[in-house]
Structure 1
Amino acid sequence: MDAAKLKKFAQYARRNLIEQVSNKLDLVLSQESAERRKHPQAVKKLEEQIQAHGEEQVIEKVAYIWFNRFCALRFMDVNRYTRIGVVSPAEGQFQPEILAEAKMGHIDEGMVDELARQRIFALLDGKTPSQDPQAEAYRLLVVAICNYWHGSMPFMFERITDFTELLMPDDLLSGNCRVPGGFPSGCGAAYSAMIDRIRDRKPPLPNFGSCAVNPSKGSGSHMSFDWGIAAYIPLHRECVQWDWSGDSCIRYDTVPESYVRGRRCNINEDRSDPPYCTKTVRWSEVFIEDTLAGPTYYW
C-alpha cells in the first residue's frame, strides 16, 4: 500500500471538504439563515457543539465524516454492492444514477422512507420551491442511503445527526466537487490504499491530523500544521482626536489591515464586532520542527 500517496490525497480532500463545510457553517449560523427558521433545534445543537469543542474541531469532524461516507459509497458503486450508483453516474450519463432514477419516478422504497420520498418528488416536480431542486433532492437521497447502510455497517455509516446533515457540502452535483464522484487523475495508488483500509473495516482515510508526512526521528524535518478562523479588518481610518465642542473628529490615523484570530466577524446593522471587521476568513500555518514555515495563509 502506497501510504505516502494516500496521505497526499488526504491533504487534497481535507482542504476541499473543510472549505465546503466552513462555507456552509457560515451560511447556517448567519442570523437570517433559512436553517434557523426550518431547523432551529439542529442549529441550536450545532452551536452547543461549537461552544463545547470549538468551531475548528466541529468543521474538521464533519468534513472527515462526509469524506468517509463518500469514499465508501463510491467503493460500493464501483463494485456493484449498490443496485444503482449513489455517487456514480450510469454509463454515458453525468448525474448520479440514483438522482436520474428519482427524476423518472423511481426511488427504492426499502432504502428511502415515505416522507423522504414525498419531499424528493415534490422538489423534482416543482411543487416545493427551491433555488436548486435537484441538488436538494440529491442531498435527501444521500442522507437516506447513509442511514439505511447504518444498520449493516455502523462502523462506516454512523447515523446522521441533524447538525451533520446541515453541514453536508452543497457542491455535490457540480464538476468542481471531485471528492464524492471519484479521485483526481493520478491518484490510482491512493484509491487502492483507500480500498485496503475499507476491507480492513477501517475508515477510508487516517485522521486528518496525520496528513503532514513525518519521517522517523533523526531522518528529516518534522512537519505540523494549525488552522482556524479570524475576523478580517481591512485598512481603515480611526479617529484619534475629537472636537467635543464641534462634535466632530479633527484628526485620524490610518490603521493597516489586520486579523483577529479565533473571532467571527458579526455585522449587525451599522456595527460590527470586532470593530471595523468586514468578514470572517480562514487561516492556516505550516511548521517545520515547530518553527513557522513561511507566512500565514488567509482565505
Structure 2
Amino acid sequence: MKKASFFLALALSAMFFIPSISHAASQDECAIWICLPGGFPSGCGAAKSAFEDRIDDEKSPLPPFSSCAVDYDSKMSYKQGVSVYEPAKSCTGWQAWVTNCTPQPARWVKDGTCSSMMCQRRNYIDVFVDGEAAGETFYY
C-alpha cells in the first residue's frame, strides 16, 4: 500500500516538474472539436460553455487536437478569422438596364475588408478533418 502511494505521489509530482504539451483542461473542451462543426446542436451545451470560456479567457477557441485524440488516424485542424457583412444588392431603377447587374443576398464574407465606419464584423471558425471541411462555418 505504501509503495503504491509512493509511486502515485511520484507520478503526480512529475506532472509539475516535467515540461509537457499543454493539454485540454476537460472533456468539455475536447467536445468542442465534435460539436462546433454542427453549430453546437442539442447535447453540446457543456462544449459550447467551454468554447465561450476559452474565448473569454483569451485562449484559442479550441484546445490542441493532439491533447484530445488517442490513437486517431485522421488529423483535425481549424481556421479562424474575421468576416464582414455585405448587405444585399438588388438591381432597381437605372441598374435594371445594366447587363452585368446580378442581385445578391446579404452575406458574411470571410477575411473581407470594410469600406465604411458602419461595417459589421464577426469571428468565424472552420473545422477540417484531413484537410476537408467538417460541417458549416461557425460564426460568433
The normalised TM-score by structure 2 is 0.48
- Larger relative helix fraction: 1
Instruction: State the structure with bigger RCO (CA 8 A, min sep 6), 1 or 2.
Output: 2
The normalised TM-score by structure 1 is 0.26
